Structure 1
Amino acid sequence: MEGDWKKINKKNRRKSAKEEQQQSSGRRSDKNNQDYSNVSNQSETTIVRKQVDPETMKYFTEIANAIEGNEIDYEERSVICGNALEEAEGKELELATDYIISHTLQSLLQGCDVQHVCGFLQSCAKEFTLIATDRSGSHVVETAFRSLMMHIQDEETYKVVEETLGKICEVIAVKPVDMMCNPHGSHVLRSLLCICKGVPLDSSEEFHKSTNTLAERLNTKAGQFGVNELPQAQHGFPDLLKFLAKEMLKHGRRDIATLQVDQYGSLVLQTALKLLVGEDQELMHIIPLLLGCKEENNREGNLIESTPVHHIVNLLKDNAFSHLMEVILEVAPDTLYDEIFTRIFRNSLFKISSDHCGSFVIQALVSSARCQGQMDLIWEELGGHFKELFENGKSGVIASLLAASQRLHKHEQKCCQALAGAVCSTNESPSCIVPRILFLESYFWSEDKTNWNWSERGKMNVLGCLMLQAVFKYPSEFIQSYVTSLLSMEADHVLETAKNAGGGRVIESFLCSGVSTKQKRKLIAKLRGRFGELSMHPSGSYTVEKCFSASSASLKETIVSELLAIRTQLSKTKQGPYLSRKLDIDGFAARPDQWRSRQESKENAYKDFYDTFGSSKVDSSKVESSKGKRFRAEPSSGPAPPKGVKQMRKEVDEFLASSSTPSSGISFPGIETSMAKLGFSGSKRRDRLEPEGSKKLAKVTMDDDTVKSKKKEKRRKGKADES
């Protein structure tokens, strides 16, 4: 087969030249020709598009028919694809931009080895920009990149891939603006940046999803400022990434004003910034240039001192630039963020947040705050405007402020009071707080807010639910008005909230909060008789699980009994089998007494663990007893238990699930290993787990006792001898 394909030559391809020329002219897309001519007009040298000659068209048609069949094996296919790409040498521009042949080229690039892929890219490097900015050519280039990604970890081919990408980067860097501002070229350039970083080529698309951005901004974990976490990076080409990012701005600095407001150029710059997270030196150089700072001032260390602030504030109203500014705030090193905050945004936060695009920038600014001093400045400007922000539809700003306040532990109580005050006046009952936040839009859009009532057909507001989740993570002494409001809700309204995806998370957040066990169980009791109905909802099953964990022994038995009544229907749902195993419904049905004993053993084990490894300030009032049974002591609002808590609880659950006859002297194999990972040594006694070093102390004490007893024995013998 290989010999036959090598014999295909130009003489054979000339036989039906006129016929193929007529067919090929009909196949080509007029729109493709127009796209190419537009790109050609942008280049410095006018390039007249060449038609693919008929014999070449026939050759690639035959190749396409051959590789589409199933009669050739992998190795033979690789040889055919490699030979075909060699035939394309010198004609890459015409072939890649042809609507028909471009699809054949993609198949060839997927089927050949990495050497031929690199050869193809190096051969078309001089005309790479023209190919990448074409509708068809861009797909060919991205297919080649995907083929390279499959070999990026191969040490034998690493050098040739690096050399190939380096040549392409050099070509792009000379004149980057045309490619950055082209819809097809922008996508290719973002893929090239991703391959240089060593992350999947689709990562750039994930960067710009608004749902991910919102979730990251409301993440209250310390040290996370809203930057999307990169996928697991392979062994990329970090030097090429830095080179390409720097050179694009170096050669495109005259067109910075265009790139700032261009939709596709902004996307390229956003991708480059996110991929450079952690490279502070590069970011300190790039970000001031993106803000319009002159490079000579940047070199002198003035950073953005010379930047026209008024101009930047006006640019924030532009959609493309506002997105770019959001990323700048998220990735900027601490010193640069502080200067941008002070120089550009200070004393303008509320004004900027009143604009549609500007409000998202303020969300990024607040979510990226690095210290309590910055939080003080933010609170001064926004703390008194919660109601106006709600009325203007800028709930995201308030949500970001709540999350930042909790993360930085600053103005937490004031935030809680301001949020409650925005939806409930001083002469109204606090019972309306939670319902109005759940239905935030419905409440603020109503004409008569005083007489607003729970809407049976209303839609719960996503941001309202997120804000309540954040509120219930605050210390319990700051959120009592919210607790009162939630506990005063009617049972039907609690059930409706639990059935809603966002509302259910609010209830779960409350059950995991630092409020007292008594208050948690009061809310759970409102769902009595509804657990079976709730468990049939995909999101409601998680709420049922949280209710079970926070319940007393009698409430747990109630929950399991209600689920047992619908066991058949529950088993047919996606979440049913998991919930049945978690609550051990089958065990309860078969042996209720043993099920109760297992639950008691679990609670005892949890309590012992929290007593030893939990917060040093355990609220003793939360340790309740009923009929001789002990319940889990929940940590107060102090420091969280160590990271190994989940793993140890899992081991306790697994061992108890496998134990048919629990006993009071039960032990848990595997826990001591987890203890050691946490820095503690295992204790053989179930009811006490001692820190590492206690064994040494016990040994020393025992040795002292032994020495003392020996001395006493010698004294007795001495007295006996004397007598």
Structure 2
Amino acid sequence: MVGIGSKALPLRRPKNCDLITKCNIAGEDNTYNQGGRRTNMGRKSMKKTKGLESGGGTNETNKSNQYSNNQEPSVPHTSFLRQQVDPETAKYFAEISNVIEGTEIDMEERSSICGNALEETRGKEVELATDYIISHTLQTLLQGCALDQLCNFLQNCSKDFPQIAMDRSGSHVAETALKSLAAYLQENDNHSLIEMTLNDICQAVVVNPVDLMANCHGSHVLRTLLCLCKGMPLDSSDIHSKKSSAALAQRLNFKSSRSNGSGSHGLHQGFPDMLKFLVSKILKAAKKDIEILQVDQYGSLVLQTALKLLAGDEQELMNAIPVILGCKGNLIDSNIVKRLSSLMKETAFSHLMEIILEVAPETLYDELITKVFKNSLFEMSSHHCGNFVIQALISHARSEDHVELVWKELGKKFKDLFGMGKSGVVASLLAACHRLNTHEHQCCQALTGAVCMENEPPRCIVPRILFLDNYFYCKDKSNWDWPSGARMHTIGTLILQTVFRLPTDFIHAFISSMTSLEENQLLDTTKDSGGARVIEAFLTSEASGKQKRKLIVKYKGHFGELSVLQSGSFTVDKCFDVSSVSLREVIVSEMLAVQAELSKTRQGPHLLRKFDLDGYAKRPDQWKTRQTSKESAYNDFISTFGSNATQFSNKEANLSHDRPKSQQEKLKDMRKEIDTHLTHTPFLASKPFKSSGKKRHADGNESRPGKFTKHTVEDVAKSKQKSHRKRKHDS
């Protein structure tokens, strides 16, 4: 029996058993969880990875998970002999499992038990880690032991680490050990010991990394090891699997790109030299098998991760990318171009190429777009895998010249691309034009021409883009009508959101189409998550206030029901921002009927505070006075400081190398700050704020020119008082 107490479990040395069993380590698939508990020992087979490392999962046709029939054979996997655990040792670890999982133990005693039990694994790490039952117990021990005990375990089995990592059960043990190591690294606890341990593991891995890369279990462990060397949080979704929605948002400028120094956000102390060593050795070993690894699902994932972690290091990327492309030296010759054009139609390589285009230094990107992609953009865009590569190519265009090259080949093909279901290519080109401020007007004209006949009124533009596939797959397009109740096209809604971020001069037809929506169409759009964002984009665009209010008045009688919906609540919020005082009163009065229900929704408390529903219910006259004061202060600020604020903001953005805010974004920030300072201040026009010297913000920085603060409120109010006294004196 096992004794439990302050001395923890005693060490014991079981006899070894020589029973040998063969283990097939290739082709086994499983999820990578951190459970490790006996109550959850069933590990279901995971589905084939669908290339979530890039934006291949949009609403367009998904990339096929099957390789082509003429694909080269995969890298041969090395099998190994697994030693069976002897009965006495199995019994010991069963008792350990009962002790650490069945009773409440304080942290110190638990650590002691885990440490003693790990000592018992010395010399038997492989057979214990690859045993289906004991591997779960081993995971729990690795999560509960001290750092020195964890490092001792890893150092003892470092030579066999690749063998453990490629096993179905052992891979979970290896993964858990690395994650426990990362947790200690985050605490900066004994950095040198961790470095020594990782060095031992890396030295063992680089002996034969190709087998590890091409193994479904080993690939995941190797990627985790790379992340650990970088100092990247091991649960980071940006490395192991980028969600398609996140990738798409980044491509369409709805999320900032992290390609320059990718993953720098949230980094812990890492080992950059070890990362470079590991990647260089992996690529050196993989060079002779690169043609196989390029189209291997798991090998491709390792190469993608390595490139992401090297992002921003131009010298390392200039060394790594030619090897991954299969170049001889650093030259992209005609043979390589021909092979790459074929490879980009393969699932695994298409994802790999997307990452290459994302992180490639500018000189290498320029060489790729001019040598590999030029004159084949439309053909590649028509392919179910290749079109995602083209999206990545366009999204990461570095200059106007790159956009010009793409525009010449795809600018007149919008209608064809929509008809083939490749709307993501159009969306990426529109976003790139907006990001680089080039070809925006031409892009809008081409978009209009693709969905609207020459003699048709512009009112049909927005509905057809909202239901893009529904319209283009309709046989009788002349009789197509709004499909009430149907879900709106994701890419179509994203295209329209991008359109309404463009200057007003380019989007008159889109504004006219939006304001022409009928009441029922507007309600359908607002109740759709993507459609609601289109409405919000229009309400925050540079369209005039009159045009926005023309759309808002169609909501009369529906503000209450929309405010309790998840999508509709944000739309009502934006409607309130751009409405006149009278329209605001309509919105608030309709919301009073659903106040109780609204308070229970996620967005409700925010709306109740912002709109001051209680204040309106108790004293509507004072509520109107406050709203009038806010609007008056806002208008005075724009007329007095708007141009200066704009100029300063642009200078400040240039100094910080950030994208300058649009005029609409700056006005939105001004309005937000005005609302913050004027909320619950009934008679602001006649009671200016007191001066208190320089205003200091929460971050400790003094207020700067062009920033709206209490002083600007005071200045506006004083200016109004002076003009009022002057008018009174003149009369």
The reply to whether TM is greater than 0.5 is yes
**Count of residue pairs brought into register by the alignment:** 650
Are the structure 2 counterparts of residues 286 and 466 from structure 1 closer, same or farther at C-alpha, using a change threshold of 3 Å? same
TM-score normalised to structure 1 length? 0.84
Rg: which structure is higher? 1
Give the Cα–Cα distance (whole angstroms) in 2 for the partners of residues 282 and 640 of structure 1: 36
State the Cα distance separating 1:515 from its structure 2 match. Answer: 1.2
Give the Cα–Cα distance (whole angstroms) in 2 for the partners of residues 379 and 222 of structure 1: 24
Instruction: Please state whether the residue corresponding to 1:293 is helix, strand or coil.
Output: coil
State the Cα distance separating 1:478 from its structure 2 match. Answer: 0.8
Query: 1:253 is matched with which residue: 287, 297, 302?
Result: 287
Matched, 1:183 2:216: yes
Matched, 1:268 2:302: yes
Q: Deviations over 1:387-417 (max 9, x none)?
A: 0001111000000001001111111111001
Task: Tell me the residue number matched to 1:507.
Answer: 535
Are the structure 2 counterparts of residues 196 and 646 from structure 1 closer, same or farther at C-alpha, using a change threshold of 3 Å? farther
* Matches for 1:316-355 after TM superposition, within 5 Å: 316-355=344-383
Pick which of 439-448 and 454-463 moved more: 454-463
Task: Tell me the residue number matched to 1:698.
Answer: none
* Matches for 1:280-429 after TM superposition, within 5 Å: 280-294=314-328, 297-298=329-330, 303-305=331-333, 308-429=336-457
Matched, 1:597 2:619: no
Give the Cα–Cα distance (whole angstroms) in 2 for the partners of residues 43 and 412 of structure 1: 52
Task: Tell me the residue number matched to 2:715.
Answer: 688
Pick which of 72-81 and 324-333 moved more: 72-81
Give the Cα–Cα distance (whole angstroms) in 1 for the partners of residues 202 and 485 of structure 2: 56
State the Cα distance separating 1:617 from its structure 2 match. Answer: 10
Q: Deviations over 1:194-226 (max 9, x none)?
A: 111212212256543222111110016887669
State the Cα distance separating 1:241 from its structure 2 match. Answer: 1.4
Task: Tell me the residue number matched to 2:190.
Answer: 157
* Matches for 1:96-175 after TM superposition, within 5 Å: 96-175=129-208
The aligned amino acid for 2:535 is I
Task: Tell me the residue number matched to 1:51.
Answer: 84
Are the structure 2 counterparts of residues 108 and 42 from structure 1 closer, same or farther at C-alpha, using a change threshold of 3 Å? farther
The aligned amino acid for 1:657 is T
* Matches for 1:383-532 after TM superposition, within 5 Å: 383-532=411-560
The aligned amino acid for 1:118 is C
Are the structure 2 counterparts of residues 8 and 347 from structure 1 closer, same or farther at C-alpha, using a change threshold of 3 Å? closer
Pick which of 460-469 and 212-221 moved more: 212-221
Task: Tell me the residue number matched to 2:678.
Answer: 656
Are the structure 2 counterparts of residues 346 and 642 from structure 1 closer, same or farther at C-alpha, using a change threshold of 3 Å? same
Q: Which has the higher contact order (CA 8 A, sep 6+)?
A: 2
The aligned amino acid for 1:546 is K
Matched, 1:673 2:696: yes
- 8 A contact 1:175–1:252 mirrored in 2: no
* Matches for 1:70-109 after TM superposition, within 5 Å: 70-109=103-142
Pick which of 165-174 and 282-291 moved more: 165-174
- 8 A contact 1:399–1:463 mirrored in 2: yes
Superposition RMSD on alpha carbons, in Å? 3.0
Task: Tell me the residue number matched to 2:727.
Answer: none
- 8 A contact 1:218–1:399 mirrored in 2: yes
Query: 1:35 is matched with which residue: 25, 30, 33?
Result: 25
The aligned amino acid for 1:482 is F
Are the structure 2 counterparts of residues 239 and 70 from structure 1 closer, same or farther at C-alpha, using a change threshold of 3 Å? same
TM-score normalised to structure 2 length? 0.83
State the Cα distance separating 1:6 from its structure 2 match. Answer: 5.8
Give the Cα–Cα distance (whole angstroms) in 1 for the partners of residues 240 and 542 of structure 2: 35
Task: Tell me the residue number matched to 2:42.
Answer: none
Instruction: Please state whether the residue corresponding to 1:504 is helix, strand or coil.
Output: helix
Give the Cα–Cα distance (whole angstroms) in 1 for the partners of residues 256 and 610 of structure 2: 31
- 8 A contact 1:468–1:506 mirrored in 2: yes
- 8 A contact 1:207–1:228 mirrored in 2: no
Task: Tell me the residue number matched to 1:717.
Answer: none
- 8 A contact 1:225–1:367 mirrored in 2: no
- 8 A contact 2:188–2:269 mirrored in 1: no
The aligned amino acid for 2:385 is C
- 8 A contact 2:23–2:80 mirrored in 1: no
Give the Cα–Cα distance (whole angstroms) in 1 for the partners of residues 539 and 485 of structure 2: 26
Q: Deviations over 1:621-663 (max 9, x none)?
A: xxxxxxxxxxxxxxxxx96369987776555434433435544
Give the Cα–Cα distance (whole angstroms) in 2 for the partners of residues 425 and 617 of structure 1: 43
State the Cα distance separating 1:598 from its structure 2 match. Answer: 1.3
Matched, 1:197 2:225: no
- 8 A contact 2:11–2:116 mirrored in 1: no
Q: Deviations over 1:596-633 (max 9, x none)?
A: 12112222332344345534599xxxxxxxxxxxxxxx
Are the structure 2 counterparts of residues 683 and 440 from structure 1 closer, same or farther at C-alpha, using a change threshold of 3 Å? closer
Matched, 1:9 2:12: yes
The aligned amino acid for 1:411 is H
The aligned amino acid for 1:588 is Y
Q: Deviations over 1:85-123 (max 9, x none)?
A: 111111101000001111111111111101111111111
Give the Cα–Cα distance (whole angstroms) in 2 for the partners of residues 267 and 420 of structure 1: 39
The aligned amino acid for 1:215 is A
- 8 A contact 2:346–2:385 mirrored in 1: yes
Give the Cα–Cα distance (whole angstroms) in 1 for the partners of residues 690 and 218 of structure 2: 60
Are the structure 2 counterparts of residues 185 and 305 from structure 1 closer, same or farther at C-alpha, using a change threshold of 3 Å? same
Instruction: State the identity as a percent.
Output: 54
Give the Cα–Cα distance (whole angstroms) in 1 for the partners of residues 281 and 581 of structure 2: 67
The aligned amino acid for 2:319 is H
- 8 A contact 2:536–2:574 mirrored in 1: yes
State the Cα distance separating 1:539 from its structure 2 match. Answer: 0.9
Pick which of 456-465 and 393-402 moved more: 456-465
Give the Cα–Cα distance (whole angstroms) in 2 for the partners of residues 642 and 572 of structure 1: 32
Give the Cα–Cα distance (whole angstroms) in 1 for the partners of residues 643 and 597 of structure 2: 41
Instruction: Please state whether the residue corresponding to 2:159 is helix, strand or coil.
Output: coil
Structure 1 segments unaligned to the other structure (5+ residues): 619-637, 691-723
Q: Deviations over 1:1-60 (max 9, x none)?
A: 5686564534xx67xx9xxx9xx99xx9x9x94438999x9677x743211122221221
Task: Tell me the residue number matched to 1:694.
Answer: none
Give the Cα–Cα distance (whole angstroms) in 2 for the partners of residues 444 and 227 of structure 1: 41
Greater fraction helix: 1
Q: Deviations over 1:298-325 (max 9, x none)?
A: 3xxxx43465211100001100000000
Give the Cα–Cα distance (whole angstroms) in 1 for the partners of residues 285 and 11 of structure 2: 45
State the Cα distance separating 1:153 from its structure 2 match. Answer: 3.5
